[in-house]
Structure 1
Amino acid sequence: MEKLSRVKVQSMLSVVSSKPIESGKIHRFSSLDQAMGLHTIHIVFYYSSNPFEDGPMPSDLDNLRVALSRLLDQFPTVTGRLTRGVDGAWEVKCNDAGVRMLQASVGCTLVEWLRSADASEERDLTVWEDMPQDPSFWSPFRIQITNFKCGGVAIGLSCSHIHADITSATMLIKSWAEVHSGQPLTHSPIFHLPPAISSPNNSISSFSPSKYTDPPPKMSTITMKFSGPVIKKHLLQIQKQCPDATPFDILVALFWSRIAHWQEPLPNDKQKQTRSLCICTDSRRNQQITYGYFGNALYFSVLDVDADKLMSGELGLVTESVHNHIEGLKRDDFLSFINSFGEERNKDEKGPFQMYGPRLTCISIEHENMMYDAMFRKGERPVHVSYHVGNVGREGLIMVMPSGDAGLGQIVMVTLPEKQVASLSKDQAVLDLEPVMVLSGMR
């Protein structure tokens, strides 16, 4: 029997920009944007109080619409609608169609929700519907405001991955908070890569996505929060092998090495002697690309490690491999991937591709703490932020991000086949890092 949702939707409306959009304006997606079409992004920002209650308008809904409407003046690709260009590729017809917004409520407190809800129930905070065959009236961006019994609120954003990556989607909410609080935008949006980056490049990344994918088994997500002191302790323990290791390095090494015990080698693993991990990083971090770039600027690379080394239990050795791989990524690697993806590799197939999960994939969000800077009221940071990627393949996804606490604290969200998640939640090597379970579904 299907479990009844605790989230009750009360209203739905559209929010449009406060100024008319330039007539006939079209935004053409990059090859990398097109390749991401199988996936969606879902983010939930949790706040301990409703930041929209105070304002010049009579209701909190009116107050949040005012700031969002002003923000959308600068994001024509968000308010527009998808259409096919003359070459058959997706593009945005920039118009004033607007963003779908829902208002909902939950009959429990925020603290109770974070203790009792699971990842499946959390999706009810991010309204989404699959793209229809004719998307000319379909909103690719959807926002849901959910009120908790205690006065807390969740802001859920869902969007197509064609339009934006995780950084862009996060920056959209952060920019909304800045407009609402009367602050200037930290990063003004731009929608095209600089000429030096968008020019042709013949080098090809070693990453090979899957064009087609079988339906994955039933997937589940587990969220674990690791404290700064515990992370620091374990970094000190491996300092001899990898003195410059980061929290991302050691957590990816830990989870990859544990998951490898339950996963069969992929056909492309060399004679089962190596195991592969796809590492997804944000090219804004090392490139001359502003964080205001609104689109996809992710870079997917592959790390191969000897299978015996991976499963030996020597965490320092695996951490060193992850760290050296990340540090070894060069500017030209990023440029090559962004420029030539979908053009040189697949002249007849522009995507979309299965980008997450054809092999176990991890995403680094550790370098940027901006999700906790989304403050609609001064000094009131989110108490928790969750990220989900839609349509993850059967090998799964590891996401590592800051916890919002001062120091080295991290949150790891892992999406795997249901049986593997059950094993991971009881794995002693993981439990030795004393994780706190968040959204664990324990009532």
Structure 2
Amino acid sequence: MADTTTAAARDVIHIEGAQTAVPTRVVEPGRTRLVAVASPPLPADALQRRVRAVLYYRAGADGSGSAWEDGVWVKETLSEALADHPEMAGRLRRRGDGSWEVKLNDTGVRLLQATVDAPLEEFLAAKKSLARREAALAPWTDVNADDPDMCPPFFMQLTRFQGDGGYAVGVSCSLLLADPLSLARFLLSWSRTHARMRAQSKATPHPMAQYLAYFQRPETSRKRLKSIPIDSFATAADAATDTVLFRTSSVPDGHVHGHRALAAACVEQASEAIGAAKASRFSVVVVDAPVPAGGDDGQQLAAGKTTIETCVEAVEGGGAGTGAELEAVEWSELGLEELVIRDSKPVHVSYRIVTGGDEGLVVVMPEVAGSSLLVTATLPR
């Protein structure tokens, strides 16, 4: 039968359900992770800085319904993964000195399920508008500085495409909660948990999951929560910046400004690479070396303290004079191209850092303790 869906209908996303995934184990009271701010208060725009990643998958061998049925398991497997990464389920809170912290309070990750009235291949084919339209696949609600406890800093959405059974996993995560590398590590940990629990369910069927699988299929679902034009999610910040990812061995030796000098060098090289004006003012986010966080595979890592220097002026001599050896690398260094769901790797992965404003932004991330650094430099066009 011919597809009679109109172009207008294809430009709408339908929100089918909204839930919250919470850790399966209770976090000890009082646990926090510090977000130190060098020059408080943190600007309101800085609270909206976030990482967005969208992973696209084709249907599995068992047909178009598999992606939707897999969505039944997302909440349960995500909750199990959060037990080993409780910081990802926390909330932001302002401290008395103007710095911030992540309160590990089990509040949870906001989880949505949605559908789009267009096939996956058609959605991906619109390359010129893809970055702007992806905001609908990884939604975000601005953090309210006066009431941050009520604002989830981490969203995940499972979106099913029409006809071919393709689907997308989209995430938006505050940079105060996790840097791009920490987020990727968490998602890879979740995918392993997802695969393990799915495999266990084949041997011992989960009655509740079977029940929910029936009622969450599109043909049997309840009334949609809402239908929203895809373009309404995009903001000016979605199309106004470009990001370059670098690897370097260390912070420039002996330089008085340390990470600020490294950030300035990255800004200088990034501006040349993307043909943008060199930013004279930018913010620097520095993440401490990751630390062991337990977990069943013994390899889980959690980000340490985060330090933010806002509106930093370019350090004199901070470019080539720092001695930093920078290598531009691909986003695939984060590893999300290897995130397997139902025995399949994504056919496409999109990354974006949304700055929330018109300033440059540098994020410095240690790959492992005492080793190399990954650095993102995001600049306005």
TM category (shorter chain) comes to 0.5 to 0.7
Matched, 1:129 2:141: yes
% same residue: 26
C-alpha distance after superposition, 1:325-384 (max 9, x if no partner): 699438xx9xxxxxxxxxxxxxxxxxxxxxxxxxxxx97445725111111233x11111
Residue 141 (structure 1) aligned to one of 125, 146, 154: 154
Equivalent position to 1:389, from 327, 332, 353: 353
Decide whether aligned partners of structure 1 residues 385 and 62 sit closer, same or farther in structure 2, where only a CA change above 3 A counts.
same
Written as runs of structure 1 = structure 2, the 5 A alignment for 1:70-219 is: 70-116=80-126, 117-132=129-144, 133-149=146-162, 150-182=164-196, 203-207=257-261
CA distance in 2, matches of 1:169, 1:23: 24
Is the CA contact 2:154–2:174 (under 8 Å) kept in the aligned structure 1?
yes
In the alignment, is the contact (CA less than 8 A) between 1:281 and 1:364 conserved in 2? no
Look up the match of 1:68: 78
Q: How many pairs are equivalent?
A: 281
Question: Once the two structures are superposed, what CA deviation does each residue of 1:290-328 show, in whole Å capped at 9, x if it has no partner?
Answer: 9834255999997999xxxxxxxxxxxxxxxx9xx6994
How big is the alpha-carbon RMSD for the aligned residues of Structure 1 and Structure 2? 4.9
CA distance in 1, matches of 2:107, 2:81: 15
The alignment status of 1:292 with 2:306, answered yes or no, reads no
Q: Alpha-carbon deviation of 1:20?
A: 1.7
> What is the match of residue 341 of structure 2?
376
Structure 1 SS opposite 2:140: coil
Residue pair 1:15, 1:65 contacting (<8 A) in 2 also: yes
Structure 2 SS opposite 1:121: helix
Per-residue displacement from partner, 1:419-442 (whole Å, max 9, x unpaired)? Answer: xxxxxxxxxxxxxxxxxxxxxxxx
Cα distance in 2 between the residues matched to 1:74 and 1:298: 26
Provide the residue aligned with 1:337 in structure 2: none
- Gaps of at least 5 residues in structure 2 are 1-7, 198-250, 293-298, 364-376
In the other structure, the counterpart of 1:256 is 272
Would the aligned equivalents of 1:279 and 1:301 in 2 still touch at CA under 8 Å?
A: no
Maintained 8 Å contact 2:48/2:356:
no
- 1:19 Cα deviation (Å)? 1.5
Q: 1:167 & 1:61 partners in 2: Cα distance?
A: 25
1:45-97 deviation line (CA, Å, top 9, x unaligned): 11112699669xx9433211121111010121111222223433211221221
TM-score (norm 2): 0.58
Q: Which amino acid aligns with 2:301?
A: G
User: Is the alpha carbon distance of 1:72 and 1:118 closer, same or farther for their aligned partners in structure 2, counting shifts above 3 Å?
Assistant: same
**Deviations 1:397-418 (Å, cap 9, x if unpaired)?**
899xxxxxxxxxxxxx99754x
For the structure 1 residues 20 and 395, does the alpha-carbon distance in structure 2 shift closer, same or farther, using more than 3 Å as the test? closer
Distance 1:79 1:364, change over 3 A: same
Is this contact kept in 1: 2:117–2:161, CA < 8 A?
yes
Q: What TM-score do you get using the length of structure 1 for normalisation?
A: 0.51
> Would the aligned equivalents of 2:59 and 2:167 in 1 still touch at CA under 8 Å?
yes
Quote the Cα distance in structure 1 between the aligned partners of 2:287 and 2:96.
31
| 1:61 alignment partner AA | G
Greater CA deviation, 61-70 or 139-148? 61-70
Q: Distance in 2 between matches of 1:394 and 1:206?
A: 19
Distance 1:78 1:258, change over 3 A: closer
Paired residue type of 2:324: L
Deviations 1:132-172 (A, max 9, x none): 22122221111111001111111111111111111111122
Map 1:294-373 to 2 at 5 A. 294=303, 328-329=323-324, 364-366=329-331, 368=333, 370-373=335-338
Task: Give unmatched runs, 5+ long, in structure 1.
Answer: 184-196, 211-248, 269-275, 306-321, 334-361, 400-412, 418-443
CA distance in 2, matches of 1:104, 1:291: 30
CA distance in 2, matches of 1:388, 1:175: 21
- Identify if the C-alpha distance between structure 1 residues 382 and 284 changes in structure 2 by more than 3 Å, giving closer, same or farther: farther
Confirm or deny that 1:44 pairs with 2:54: yes
Check 1:363–1:298 CA distance in 2 against 1; reply closer, same or farther (3 A cut).
farther
- Cα 1:29/1:396, change in 2 over 3 Å: closer
Aligned to 2:202: none
Is the 2:55–2:346 contact (alpha carbons within 8 Å) kept by the matching residues of 1?
yes
SS in 2 for 1:42: strand
Tell me whether 86-95 or 172-181 shows the greater mean CA deviation: 86-95
- Superposition pairs for residues 215-234 of structure 1, below 5 Å? none
The separation in 1 between residues aligned to 2:338 and 2:25, in whole angstroms, is 27
Distance in 2 separating the partners of 1:279 and 1:22: 31
- 1:363–1:398 CA contact under 8 A, matched in 2: no
| Aligned counterparts of 1:131 and 1:278: Cα–Cα separation in 2 | 19
Question: 2: CA distance between counterparts of 1:70 and 1:154?
Answer: 21
> The residue matched to 2:190 in structure 1 has which SS?
helix
CA distance, structure 1, for counterparts of residue 177 and residue 93 of structure 2: 13
- Per the alignment, do residues 205 and 62 of structure 1 end up closer, same or farther by CA in structure 2, a change over 3 Å counting? closer
Residue 113 of structure 1: how far off its partner (Å): 0.4
1: distance between equivalents of 2:282 and 2:339?
32
**Secondary structure at 2:121 match in 1:** helix
Conservation of the 8 A alpha-carbon contact between 1:279 and 1:303: no
